[in-house]
Amino acid sequence: MQNPVTVIQSVRLDDQNDTLVLLDQTVLPNETNFLELKEMEDIWDAIYQLKVRGAPAIGIAAAYGAYLGTKKSTAETYEALFEDFKKVKDYLATSRPTAVNLFWALNRMEDRFKQETGKSAAEVKAALKEESEAIRAEDEKICEAIGENALSLLEPGWGLLTHCNAGTIATAKYGTALAPIYLGQEKGYDFKVYADETRPLLQGARLTAWELQQAGVNVTLICDNMASIVMKEGRIQAVLVGCDRVAANGDAANKIGTSGVAILAKHYNIPFYVCAPLSTVDLECKTGDDIHIELRPSEEITSKWYEQSMAPNGVQTYNPAFDVTDHSLITGIVTENGIAYAPYSESLPKMFKK
């Protein structure tokens, strides 16, 4: 029996109508609204405004966007079409700086373009469509493999803590950090999940809690600053989080607040697992110090969720979208090809060779 949540396609291509269809994650859980986007400016805005979010989903959306933008080109030669493709690619790349999947997907689309050297514009466009669809299909298989690998680390009846949203709507299917929860549910593991609300954009409250509740999972929503007490009370046996970029040494950038959860888990001797597809592992990035952290608008802290501002007018804010969890706090990095353990500088490259 198919889970009602894992069948949701949060990102899909309507090629017949030259449209990218996205589940608008900014209006969940109160509305389930699918956007139909045709213009590159609207696709860029959807990525920047977090209407589509989650590293894999961003990559899929970018790949579809690169295809649709190129499909509109009237260029007749391979060289002229490539110029138009590059404009689209470079534009979409400016939407979010931290999620490596955005650049991975766009670079993969460029590599496919170059493989079609000398072919007609129509043939190149067809190849780009094929590549974008392949990226989506592969992510679905990757997420299921991550879920199976992560599930091997867990025991039935465990309490699990997660932060932000790394579920179906952040990927092609299943998610990364939520994948073992969905697969475990199918096998009767009876997990008890605690979802951090994840301020300031409340991805845990609005998205993870919604996903898991819709799927019939035993989920309890907690404020971010309650993570310590549920750990102290023995309610948590493992922490599962997703990731937007993993450095070569195992440092992992994820939604703001993740590093604090990792520090708490270390204190209470609870395993802390990062679930990350290999497309999120950036071996060219030596350490977390090399990861560019996106700064978001102050309104997300002061007024976004309130009828009136909850902070003094004009107060200074600091709103980084991500933080970096030091590799020393990570028990294991779960990929589709297996589980990497410290030293990550040795284990992560081996994951790519499997």
DSSP character string of 6-71: TT--SEEEEGGGTEEEEE-TTSTTT---EEEE-SHHHHHHHHHTTSS-SHHHHHHHHHHHHHHHHH
State yes or no: is 323 an active-site residue: no
The backbone region for 162, taken as left when phi is positive above 0, alpha when psi lies in -120 to 50, beta otherwise, is beta
Question: In angstroms, rounded to a whole number, what is the distance separating the alpha carbons of residues 162 and 88?
Answer: 35
Considering 244, 251, 282, 323, which one is annotated as catalytic? 244
The candidate with the shortest Cα–Cα distance to 54, out of 248, 292, 276, is 276
Amino acid letter for position 19: T
Within 13 Å, how many C-alpha atoms sit on residue 318's CB side? 4
> Are 155 and 188 in contact, with CB atoms under 8 Å apart?
no
Counting beta carbons within 10 angstroms of the beta carbon of residue 284, is it exposed (0 to 12), middle (13 to 18) or buried (19 or more)? exposed
Intra-chain end-to-end CA distance of the chain, in Å: 32
Q: What is the DSSP letter of 294?
A: P
Q: Report how far apart, in Å, the C-alpha atoms of 297 and of each of 76, 204, 290, 301 are.
A: 42, 19, 22, 8
Question: Which residues are identified as catalytic?
Answer: 244
